[in-house]
Structure 1
Amino acid sequence: MQSTPPRAVTAICHALQEQIEHGLLAPGGKLPAERQLSEVFATTRITLREALLQLEAQGLIYREERRGWFVASQRLSYDLIERSHFHAMVRAQGRVASTELLSARLQPASAAICARLQLPALSSVVRICRLRRIDGRAVLYAEHYLNPRQFPGILDQNLGQSLTEVYARVYGIGYGQVCFEILPTALPLEAAAPLKVSTGSPGLQITRVNSDQHGRLIDCDLEYWRHDAICIRAHAG
């Protein structure tokens, strides 16, 4: 079986990258269908797809299931040291943030969540699942696991807004120490479906275990990001 011609793939990558860098293909804009692009570059769909996958790996373009290929916007700068929440972080970078509540309920905690929040066996946690968008594009699926003892009545609150602001306004709770774990991952089904990508697509998992201002463990966040949507930074003084 003949392999994909590397020169053809490289030429397509360079041509599309040049169009993107010069603004002819604008961020958020939809690329022509693969069949049309194959005709433009006088190549096969296999060769074209290899080029598109390489550009996707570089974070220049992205694909949504049943919608096609799009030009990626500038990555969100995610500063691990700065104490900020998603909406404030996005607004500070001149973008528009939105949050969609997918589900919220009290449920038994998994062994992993019990360990992270130092809860005894058979404990219950509040599980809140949300989809977060930047400029209308779904980039983050998040699962929040809260110790219900710290947040009585939390399920009656508006959970489509910043939890950080709800914690402060309703419960007088602010963040203290935060522990991060960051891992490249293959997106699981529960994250891939709302992000409109195939299960197993590359992503970034950020696990945050949060303590309050008094040192008590209060919640654990599992964040699944599209890999092209975020740039992790840490500025230590």
Structure 2
Amino acid sequence: MPRSQAATIRESLSAQIDSGLLPLGSKLPSERELSELFSTTRITIKDALLALEAEGRIYREDRRGWFVSPPRLIYNPQYRSHFHDMVTRQQRQVETRVLSASTVLATPALSQELSLGPLAQLLQIRRTRSIDGRVVMYVEHHLKPEFFPGILQQDLSQSLTLIYQQRYDIRYGRSRFDIFPSAARGEVAQALTLAEGSPILLVFRINYDQHGRIIDCDHEYWRHDAIRITVDSHVAAGE
């Protein structure tokens, strides 16, 4: 069957990216400019751009337009060191910004996941992670307060893994992961400067310490174009 005009435009833009004529991180022309360039409607242009976004080739920022996606971060959920170390080992720049840190009432879902009783409290830390100056992840950490007294007064822009080790003599043991696609809504979309409903990848992790106790959990909301998840089962089996 003949290709649609949107598919032809997608292939043309993809070829421009592959050749470097549209460099990684560069801003695309506006949808109006693209519709004039390809002599088509903005609806057709939008279809082509959405297809490229779904592939992770481009991304959009609310009120700023479309950009060519930078190289993906190789993300190994089983990585034993802290996040900053994983990023810098790939010769990327990482920055963490703290949005809030407070004590909250555990939701029924968190109470079940963390084996809590009724009306239990948790320490909630909300942060964003930037790689090479672009916000790529919004994360909500929920900590059991009995393990981490006074942690909300620490510099939470630093690695929580290191704070756990250095201040509380707590180290991560095993973790359980759930990874699935989702859509950016509300504060997640705002933190990632995404339009409502944009595709994201949700990584939910429950963490145990070296003694097998559940100590915290993380909800990581990633720009889906920003990471490539890699797991080596051979390495995991040998640990």
The TM-score bracket by the shorter chain reads over 0.9
2:101 to 86, 98, 104: 104
1:197: which partner in 2? 194
* Residues 25, 71 of structure 1: 8 Å contact kept: yes
Q: Distance in 2 between matches of 1:188 and 1:162?
A: 26
1:224 and 2:196 matched: no
Which is worse superposed, 162-171 or 84-93? 84-93
> Can you list the C-alpha shifts for 1:186-208, whole angstroms capped at 9, x where unaligned?
22312111101122221111111
2:184: which partner in 1? 187
1:25: which partner in 2? 22
1:82: which partner in 2? 79
2:237: which partner in 1? none
**Any gaps of 5 or more consecutive residues in structure 1?**
none
Q: Distance in 2 between matches of 1:92 and 1:135?
A: 13
TM-fit CA distance, 1:13: 0.9
Letter in 2 for 1:8: Q
TM-fit CA distance, 1:7: 2.7
TM-fit CA distance, 1:21: 0.6
Q: Distance in 1 between matches of 2:94 and 2:163?
A: 17
TM-fit CA distance, 1:106: 0.6
Matched residue SS, 1:149: helix
TM-fit CA distance, 1:85: 2.4
Q: Distance in 2 between matches of 1:177 and 1:137?
A: 30
TM-fit CA distance, 1:104: 0.5
Q: Which runs of 4+ in 1 moved over 3 A?
A: none
1:141 and 2:151 matched: no
TM-fit CA distance, 1:6: 4.8
Q: Distance in 2 between matches of 1:92 and 1:181?
A: 25
Q: Distance in 2 between matches of 1:82 and 1:107?
A: 29
> Can you list the C-alpha shifts for 1:99-138, whole angstroms capped at 9, x where unaligned?
1100110111111111111111111100000011111111
TM-fit CA distance, 1:80: 2.1
Q: Distance in 2 between matches of 1:119 and 1:155?
A: 21
2:113: which partner in 1? 116
1:169 to 140, 149, 166: 166
2:156: which partner in 1? 159
Letter in 2 for 1:60: R
Q: Distance in 1 between matches of 2:117 and 2:11?
A: 55
- With normalisation by structure 2, the TM-score equals 0.94
Letter in 2 for 1:57: A
RMSD between aligned residues: 1.2
TM-fit CA distance, 1:14: 1.2
> Can you list the C-alpha shifts for 1:162-203, whole angstroms capped at 9, x where unaligned?
111111111111100101011111223121111011222211
What percentage of residue pairs aligned between the two structures are identical? 52
Which is worse superposed, 75-84 or 117-126? 75-84
Q: How many aligned residue pairs are there?
A: 233
TM-fit CA distance, 1:8: 1.5
Q: Distance in 2 between matches of 1:127 and 1:188?
A: 19
Q: Distance in 1 between matches of 2:106 and 2:5?
A: 52
